[in-house]
């Protein structure tokens, strides 16, 4: 047999343990017909690796004894471009399950396929004498490789904005620590606008991080952390520990006649107008700490003892028990971005959205110890209760408005629907005509007998970003903004709130505040800094065209108007009466929006997806007392069928499903194990969403990851015994939890060897309805399942795969060989280069990272591994290892056993397509119903396709 593969391990300019390097490089080439290794030598410096593998690809395919692969832990010894030698000990190398919280109620984090919640590989650097730790280096290139690489050149407006942002940087002891609120050279009385505000710095920090500049953000996080422990008093009273300052200023203090010292002077609200408490400062600090780790890959910062202590102090301050009856955070007026009296005291939406985000961040970042278990449990319970509270009681749309309009009042019972005793007369007249049919939003505040129906932009946008709202609510919020574009965006995005308070209401609520006159400042003014949050929300929900439209408005006006703080009038046509020019967060918000639009894949590191396990947590279920009763059921009680909002899916026994007239699709399938195998093949994360598209030709299931990886499972109608398609007005398309779908199907699977098959019926009644699964073998009992569907968060990418030239570049590899080759190419932080050579015909897969590892497939007529090959010119492209691995990591055992072969094609621009075939087992017994529909026994094959985008060239 002539096919061969080569394993090449090497590095340039390498040495080992300080010894003089030998002038050779070792290349191991192993052919199928020979067990003797042949060594090739050249004159580059050698590199020694000890690789621990239980059974590698060379051993499995070529019968090498296990002694050829040393069982020692992996150690790398190499030098960089200088002569200093370092030894690196790798930890957490394998892609296995990592448990961060040792309790059944807490989140488990898996490293299989997805990296959203997983820390990248970290290696510890050691001096050549192995006696002292030199520091830490991050090898998680897959996390931050694209940070700082913008697509396309900056426009002149962007260049001006970057220059202004750099000019606003504040230094402390020679190091950047933040940006001042405004840097107008013509402003002779800056008041506190020359200070560094925590909330104002957030868009600046994100702009720097997206550009690859992290030092200023790290310094900011650490110095504000030090300020947290300062003693603060207002009129001889000290607020609780953990309070973060609203702002700080760098002052120069004279030590003596010749020496001076820089000090940080924080403001915890004792100097602010109105003495407002900066509640949002600590929440924004936590959010930025997570963003820093996500965008840089440096998770060591959040693991530091002082950072963990500061994090716990903020959480303890927020989670302290009080008199409040509800999970929302109770605050005073002016405690957030709206820092003047505007009638938001109580439970404002902005604070709740930031609170929810901060809790989710903390849940990811807290180091699990015996001392933090109770805190993590409290976070989980609070998150579950808060999400239900906001989704249920803050949401208004046309349907909810009709419900409130008919509310009964003065209800005294545990089952009261009008829990807050809201009087229907509170519904403002403007709202009845303003709210669109297809949109909705979260109200600004909720208290006993009071609903603040104003639309607050930041709270609603951040509810989308954090998934505080349901996917349906998130889409509805953007639908409302689009429908009411003239009111909420107008000439300058984005209204801070709508509508403005005027006349007597303005006098009572604001106290006749001259700065908050109608349609000015916080009272209906337009704030350009909200642009970056709007952009992030639009990217998450697949509405990028809305963000582009808003950014285009800002692009035209902001530089001409000298980057003002806010705009006045109903449509934002005039610069604010008291607006500061060259406002830093206006500049930074614009830059962040532009960078997110250029690199939308980076946005996924800044928002959160729905966490269905979190929604299942209910503190009511933890009590053994019969007195406690869960209020969620009563809250969801409405006319008609009630669906528990926490429920992802449920299995019901000995019951029959309600029949609906003419469902969009009814299909029946036997032996669902083949379908389970096909769907499992595209499930590379524990929590994974999928989109199902139904048509007269069958079902397509689509899964995506970071805009760089897409998988499709094609289930043609011929796979089913029965397939009735009745949809009208377009092909149905809906989202489901892939994990729940597979788990439900598993409930219907028949153990291997059992002669009796199980016939399963799948129904999709129509839009906004649940996916129904039911066994139909028994006449007196059935197993039924309901899976909640939702509006897809994003539109699937159109990969538009086109051949790279006149002749396609394709090759087919035995499926088992492909899977083993990719597994053996595992290399931390590496990319995989796939090269096709026409002469000699071959395919090479090369891992390029800290050292090189290469596997070659040589094509010959009698080859048993590379079974087909077509290439008329040399082609080479790089792909992220984690995306390439996802194409084979869950390959079904049936594919490995049959070993038909997996086809790989490289299209225009380097797009890689990987195709597998999965057998759906033929029926073991016939069913009378099958004959009545003319069932013919066709080939029962499910097609699986993966599309992997190549890495961008550095040229």
List, for residues 407-454, the tens digit of each pLDDT value.
888 888 777 888 888 999 999 999 999 999 989 999 999 999 999 999
Q: Higher pLDDT residue, 139 or 779?
A: 779
Confidence of residue 455 (pLDDT cuts 50, 70, 90): very high
Which residues of the chain are in CATH 1.50.10.10 domains?
Answer: 156-229+237-612
Q: Over the stretch 330-344, which tens digit does the pLDDT of each residue have?
A: 999 999 999 999 999
Measured distance CA(124)–CA(830) in Å, rounded = 18
pLDDT at 43: 36
Q: Do residues 855 and 836 lie in contact, with contact meaning Cβ atoms separated by under 8 Å?
A: no
Among the ranges 329-343, 554-568, 789-803, 926-940, which has the highest mean pLDDT value?
554-568
Is there a contact between 670 and 929 (Cβ–Cβ < 8 Å)? no
Between these two residues, 730 and 771, which has the higher pLDDT value?
A: 771
Which residue ranges does the chain devote to CATH 3.70.10.10? 809-948
Segment of 90-104, 576-590, 931-945 carrying the highest mean pLDDT: 576-590
Task: Please enumerate in sequence order all residues whose Cβ is within 8 A of that of 706, keeping only pairs 6 or more positions apart, or say none.
Answer: 601, 604
pLDDT at 734 over 60: yes
Buried b (16+ CB within 10 A) or exposed e, 141-158: bbbbebbbebeeeeeebb
What's this model's pTM, rounded to 2 decimal places?
0.58
The pLDDT of residue 521 is above 50: yes
Kindly tell me the burial class for residue 650, based on how many C-beta atoms sit within 10 Å of its own C-beta (0-12, 13-18, 19 or more).
Answer: middle
Report the topology of domain 809-948. Proliferating Cell Nuclear Antigen (3.70.10)
CATH class of the domain defined by 643-699+717-787 = alpha beta
Average pLDDT, the chain: 78
- Stated as kind and residue range, the H or E segment containing 860 is none
Residue whose tokens read 């620590």? 177
Judge whether 298 and 369 are in contact, CB under 8 Å: no
Residue 392, pLDDT above cutoff 60 = yes
Q: Which of 304-308, 309-313, 444-448, 838-842 has the lowest mean pLDDT?
A: 838-842
Distance of alpha carbon 17 from alpha carbon 77, whole angstroms = 7
- pLDDT tier at 795 (50, 70, 90 boundaries)? low
Residues 6+ apart with CB under 8 A from 514: none
The two three-digit tokens of residue 590, written as one number: 């614009």
Q: Do the beta carbons of residue 584 and residue 182 sit within 8 Å?
A: yes
**Higher pLDDT residue, 438 or 612?**
438
Confidence label for 796 from pLDDT (cuts 50, 70 and 90): low
H or E segment and range at residue 210: helix 198-210
Position 193 confidence tier, pLDDT thresholds 50, 70, 90:
very high
Q: Is the pLDDT of residue 496 over 60?
A: yes
What does the pLDDT read at residue 869? 87
At residue 868, the pLDDT reads: 86
pLDDT value at position 454? 97
Q: How far, in Å, are 536, 574, 582, 673, 841 from residue 185 at the CA level?
A: 31, 22, 9, 70, 67
Q: Is-contact 210 148, C-beta < 8 A? A: yes
Binned at pLDDT 50, 70 and 90, residue 863 comes out as: low
Burial of 413 per CB tally in 10 Å (0-12, 13-18, 19+) = exposed
Contact yes or no for 564/583 (Cβ under 8 A): yes
CA distances 901 to 842, 891, 898, 914, Å, are 16, 12, 9, 11
Strands (E) across 190-295 are located at 196-197, 247-254, 260-267
- The alpha carbon of residue 105 and the mean position of all alpha carbons in its chain are separated, in whole angstroms, by 22
Which pLDDT value is given to residue 360? Answer: 96
pLDDT band at 24 (very low <50, low <70, confident <90, very high): very low
Q: What percentage of the chain carries pLDDT values higher than 70?
A: 71
DSSP structural state of residue 530: G
Q: What is the model's pLDDT at position 294?
A: 95
As a whole number of angstroms, the distance between CA 273 and CA 516 comes to: 14
- Range name among 192-206, 773-787, 809-823, 832-846 with the lowest pLDDT average: 773-787
What tokens were used for 571?
């449509």
Q: How would you classify the pairing of strands 912-919 and 698-705?
A: unpaired
- CATH fold group of domain 156-229+237-612: Glycosyltransferase (1.50.10)
For the chain, what percent of residues have pLDDT higher than 90? 46
Encoding tokens for residue 309? Answer: 């202590």
Candidates 720, 758, 756, 760; CA nearest to 933 is 720
Within the chain, which residue ranges are assigned CATH 3.10.150.10?
643-699+717-787
Rg of the Cα trace of the chain?
30
């Amino acid at each position: 047999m002539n096919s061969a593969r080569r394993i090449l391990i090497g590095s340039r300019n390498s040495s080992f343990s300080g010894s003089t390097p030998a002038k050779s490089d070792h290349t191991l080439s192993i052919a199928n017909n020979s067990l003797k290794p042949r060594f090739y030598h050249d004159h580059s410096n050698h590199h020694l690796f000890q690789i621990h593998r239980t059974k590698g690809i060379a051993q499995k395919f070529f019968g090498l004894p296990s002694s050829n692969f040393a069982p020692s832990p992996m150690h790398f010894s190499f030098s960089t471009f200088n002569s200093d030698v370092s030894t690196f000990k790798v930890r957490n190398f394998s892609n296995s399950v990592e448990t961060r919280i040792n309790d059944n109620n807490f989140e488990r984090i898996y490293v299989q396929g997805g990296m959203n919640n997983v820390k990248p590989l970290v290696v510890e650097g050691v001096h050549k004498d192995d006696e002292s730790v030199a520091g830490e280096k991050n090898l998680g290139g897959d996390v931050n490789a694209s940070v700082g690489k913008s697509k396309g050149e900056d426009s002149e407006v962007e260049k001006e904005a970057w220059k202004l942002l750099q000019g606003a940087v504040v230094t402390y002891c020679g190091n950047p620590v933040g940006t001042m609120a405004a840097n107008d050279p013509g402003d002779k009385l800056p008041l506190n606008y020359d200070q560094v505000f925590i909330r104002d710095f957030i868009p600046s920090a994100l702009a720097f991080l997206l550009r690859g500049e992290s030092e200023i953000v790290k310094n900011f996080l650490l110095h504000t952390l030090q300020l947290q422990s300062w003693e603060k008093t207002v009129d001889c009273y000290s607020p609780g520990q953990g309070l973060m300052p609203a702002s700080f200023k760098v002052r120069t203090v004279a030590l003596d006649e010749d020496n001076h010292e820089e000090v940080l002077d924080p403001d915890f609200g004792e100097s602010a107008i109105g003495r407002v408490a900066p509640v949002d400062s600590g929440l924004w600090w936590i959010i930025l700490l997570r963003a820093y780790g996500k965008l840089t890959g440096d998770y060591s910062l959040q693991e530091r003892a002082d950072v963990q202590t500061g994090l716990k102090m903020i959480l303890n301050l927020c989670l302290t028990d009080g008199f409040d009856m509800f999970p929302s955070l109770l605050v005073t007026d002016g405690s957030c971005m709206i820092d003047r009296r505007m009638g938001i005291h109580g439970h404002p939406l902005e604070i709740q959205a930031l609170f929810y985000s901060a809790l989710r961040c903390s849940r990811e970042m807290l180091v699990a110890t015996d001392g933090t278990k109770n805190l993590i449990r409290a976070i989980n319970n609070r998150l579950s209760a808060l999400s239900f509270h906001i989704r249920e009681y803050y949401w208004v749309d046309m349907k909810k408005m009709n419900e409130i309009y008919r509310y009964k009042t003065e209800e005294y019972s545990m089952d009261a629907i009008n829990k807050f005793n809201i009087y229907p007369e509170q519904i403002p007249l403007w709202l009845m005509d303003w709210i669109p049919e297809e949109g909705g939003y979260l109200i600004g505040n909720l208290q006993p007998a009071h609903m603040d129906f104003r639309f607050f932009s930041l709270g609603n946008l951040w509810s989308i970003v954090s998934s505080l709202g349901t996917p349906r609510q998130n889409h509805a919020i953007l639908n409302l903004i689009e429908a009411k574009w003239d009111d909420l965006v107008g000439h300058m995005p984005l209204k801070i709130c709508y509508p403005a308070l005027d006349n007597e209401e303005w006098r009572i609520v604001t106290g006749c505040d001259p700065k908050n006159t109608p349609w000015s400042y916080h009272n209906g003014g337009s704030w350009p800094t909200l642009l970056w949050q709007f952009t992030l929300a639009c990217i998450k929900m697949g509405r990028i065209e809305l963000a582009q439209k808003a950014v285009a408005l800002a692009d035209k006006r902001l530089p001409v108007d000298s980057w003002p703080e806010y705009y006045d009038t109903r449509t934002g046509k005039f610069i604010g009466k008291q607006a500061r020019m060259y406002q830093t967060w206006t500049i930074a918000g614009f830059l962040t929006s532009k960078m997110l639009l250029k690199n939308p894949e980076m946005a996924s590191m800044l928002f959160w997806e729905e966490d269905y396990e979190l929604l299942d947590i209910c503190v009511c279920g933890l009590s053994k007392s019969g007195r406690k009763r869960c209020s969620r059921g009563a809250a969801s009680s409405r006319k008609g069928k009630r669906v528990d909002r926490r429920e992802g899916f449920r299995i019901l026994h000995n019951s029959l499903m309600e029949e609906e007239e003419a469902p969009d699709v009814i299909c029946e399938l036997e032996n669902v194990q083949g379908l389970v195998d096909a769907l499992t093949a595209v499930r590379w994360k524990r929590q994974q969403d999928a989109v199902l598209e139904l048509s007269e030709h069958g079902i397509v299931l689509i899964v995506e990851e970071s805009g760089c990886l897409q998988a499709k499972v094609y289930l043609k109608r011929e796979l089913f015994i029965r397939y009735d398609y009745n949809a009208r007005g377009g092909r149905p398309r809906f989202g489901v939890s892939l994990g729940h779908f597979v788990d439900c199907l598993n409930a219907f699977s028949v153990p291997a060897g059992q002669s009796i098959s199980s016939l399963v019926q799948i129904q999709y009644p129509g839009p906004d309805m649940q996916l129904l699964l039911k066994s139909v073998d028994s006449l007196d009992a059935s197993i039924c399942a309901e899976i909640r569907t939702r509006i897809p968060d994003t539109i699937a990418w159109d990969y538009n795969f086109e051949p790279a030239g006149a002749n396609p570049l394709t090759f087919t590899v035995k499926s088992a060989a492909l899977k083993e080759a990719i597994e053996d190419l595992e290399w931390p932080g590496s990319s995989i280069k796939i090269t096709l050579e026409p002469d000699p015909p071959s395919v090479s897969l090369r891992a390029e990272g800290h050292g090189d590892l290469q596997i070659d497939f040589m094509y010959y007529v009698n080859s048993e591994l590379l079974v087909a090959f077509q290439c008329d010119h040399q082609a080479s492209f790089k792909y992220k290892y984690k995306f390439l691995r996802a194409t084979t990591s869950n390959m079904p055992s049936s594919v490995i056993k049959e070993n038909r072969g997996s086809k790989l094609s490289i299209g225009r621009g380097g797009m890689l397509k990987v195709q597998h075939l999965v057998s759906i087992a033929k029926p073991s017994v016939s069913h009378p119903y099958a004959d009545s529909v003319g069932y013919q026994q066709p080939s029962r094959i499910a097609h699986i396709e993966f599309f992997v985008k190549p890495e961008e060239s550095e040229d």
